[in-house]
A and B are shown apart, each in its own frame.
Chain A
Amino acid sequence: MTLSRIAPYLQAAPLTLILAAFLVLPIATIVMVSFWDYDSIQIFPDFVFTNYEETITSPVTWRTYLNTLKYTVIVWAVTLLVGFWVAYYLAFHIRSATMQMVLFLVCTIPFLTSNIIRMISWIPFLGRNGLLNQSLMTMGLIDQPLEFLLFSDFAVVLAMVHLYTLFMVTPIFNTLMRIDRALIEAARDAGASAFQILTNVIIPLAKPGIAIGSIFVVTLVMGDFITVRFMSGGQSASVGLMMANQIALLQYPAAAANAVILLVLVLLLVAAILRIVNIRKEL
């Protein structure tokens, strides 16, 4: 009987140990190092607030955080809009379960391929001599290639939407599939229009999925640096990119202070989402 009592602890131990070693300990290290001092060649233990002071008082930091928030809001809005309708289409308009599964897999397979390759693949499409510019010029819509397509904020947002919409589709699809179809029948029998069914029945019931998708997208965009660096051609900034640059310059304590601020901000955003929507019953 004792074995069955300690069994869950033994079973949970590997997960606990891995997360302790590679999540808790590293974040504790970041917090510790954020109070350390550094010069151009090394970092040394100390307890100073200069890293935070320098980060918070620098106008560059504020601009970068605002820019990151701008990306977050735009990408969140677009992925929510696109993701919801894709999930809605799969859940309510596709009638055979096999077809539903196949189309859902079609939507999720790119998620399991390389992000870097998916970013690179926009180059022949959006570049100065890219497919889009060539077609627009052939059609006579423009005389000169559009320069804003690649290496711009537009390209960053487009690539993020391309990479992250799946994180919205999957949880929303999941909640939509669980909606009892009898509720929709009942609403229709009671005289509700399609739009009323959507706003009064489906969207309220889809909220947990929307919240989970939003948490994914918000945290992914807030911490992103590779998409911003690659798709903006180094012309735009994000918090992640700022950290990556500080890391490259071996300014670890500065990067760590930045990381702590970013983490607090991300956790506040997640907490805000969880306050609005209760996702517990979804898990």
Chain B
Amino acid sequence: MTSEKRGPGFYVLTAFFILFVLFLYGPLSTIFILSFQGPNGGLTFPMNGVSLRWFENLLFEQQAVGDFGGAFSRSLLLGLMTMLTTVVVSLLAGLAFRRRFLGSGPLFYLTIASLIVPSILISLGIGLAFNVFGLEPAWYSSGFGAHLTWTLPFGLLIMFAVFNRFNPAYEEAARDLGASPWQTFAHVVLPIILPSLIGVGLFGFTLSYDEFARTLMTSGSFNTLPLEIYGMTTNVTTPVLYALGTVTTLFSMAVILIALATIAVLRKRRARRLAG
């Protein structure tokens, strides 16, 4: 297929793909532009001058409603907790699923169920369960658990993809050379799967950082950032909303790019080591 000439289908689909990318990124870029709206500008075009007024308002002034700083630090911490837990638990479960064990089938279906049960059910269920057991819901307990039900299935599916492609010859070689199981894991398996683990961490962090529906009834009395933003949509009518959107999106993008760059560096280093 590689040496052929491009047919008309190629050009039609290229145009379609470009339109799709515009559709994905176009709306985001409008709020990015509008967040630089002048001090007297509104929520829509035209731009009434260009300023950093709304970023200043967001970052340095007391908001009439909400607590942006607090919500951001809660979401950040929750994202990191979810990330670490997702990486460790998915890795362990991924290792477990490499062998047959009693109950592996049901556990697999349970994990998939966690992905397809509507978010609002998880939210309601955890909220009710805490209520019934007389526990106070909080972002670091019930909210944390709710996020894990969303990130762990993704983590496990990525680990499945990794171990399906993993060549057991590496481990056998290590064992033949006298490595203990722990040494085999730490010096052979872990370095090979490290880029994928960073991928799992990226999913764990960003999915948690942006999670809304599962957090709604489980966050207790303090909001996470997406809940805070949602609250702002109903009572904030200035472009500060867009400034917040721009800041959090740039933050997400930065996290994604750092993770991707780390993965690329690790891959390259490994390729070099194998070559040299």
Interfacial residues, chain A to chain B (CB-CB below 8 A):
4, 7-9, 11-12, 14-16, 18-19, 21-27, 29-30, 32-33, 82, 85-86, 88-90, 92-93, 95, 103, 105-107, 109-110, 112-118, 120-125, 127, 129-131, 134, 162, 165, 181, 184-185, 194, 215-216, 219-220, 222-226, 230, 240, 243-244, 247, 252, 255-256, 259, 262-263, 266, 270, 283
Contact = CB atoms under 8 A, between A and B. Distances in A.
Given A19-B149, A109-B253, A266 B122 contact: no
Interface string B92-115: 110111011111100100110110
Q: Which A-B residue pairs are the 4 nearest by beta carbons?
A: A223-B118, A26-B125, A11-B96, A22-B145
A196 to B, nearest CB: 14
A112 B212 contact: no
A163 B108 CA distance: 27
A106 B148 CA distance: 26
Contacts of A223: 117-121, 213
24 contacts: A11-B93, A11-B95, A12-B92, A12-B104, A12-B107, A15-B92, A18-B145, A18-B148, A18-B152, A19-B107, A19-B114, A23-B113, A26-B122, A86-B16, A89-B13, A107-B20, A112-B256, A118-B27, A125-B30, A129-B45, A162-B27, A263-B121, A266-B116, A270-B116
A23 B117 contact: yes
A86 B260 CA distance: 22
Contact of A263 (B24, B28, B45, B117): B117
Contacts of B103: 12, 16
Given A14-B88, A127-B44, A225-B120, 6 more contacts: A11-B93, A22-B126, A95-B2, A114-B226, A120-B242, A121-B28
A33 B132 contact: yes
A22 B210 contact: no
Contact of B17 (A89, A118, A131, A259): A89
A107 to B, nearest CB: 7
Nearest to A103: B17
A252 B233 CA distance: 26
B229 A125 contact: no
Contact of B117 (A27, A112, A129, A244): A27
Contacts of A243: 120, 124
Contacts of B163: none
A117 B149 contact: no
B202 interface: yes
B223 interface: no
B93 A12 contact: yes
B118 A219 contact: yes
Contact of A116 (B20, B99, B121, B230): B230
B146 interface: yes
B89 A14 contact: yes
B252 interface: yes
Interface residues of B, number: 88
Contact of B26 (A4, A125, A216): A125
B23 interface: yes
B116 A18 contact: no
A144 to B, nearest CB: 16
A215 B157 CA distance: 15
Interface string B23-43: 111111011001000000001
B215 to A, nearest CB: 11
Contacts of B122: 22-23, 26
B212 A115 contact: yes
A27 B121 contact: yes
A266 B119 CA distance: 12
A240 B95 contact: no
Nearest to A29: B129
B245 interface: yes
A117 B249 contact: yes
Contacts of A283: 160
B54 to A, nearest CB: 14
Contacts of A194: 7, 9
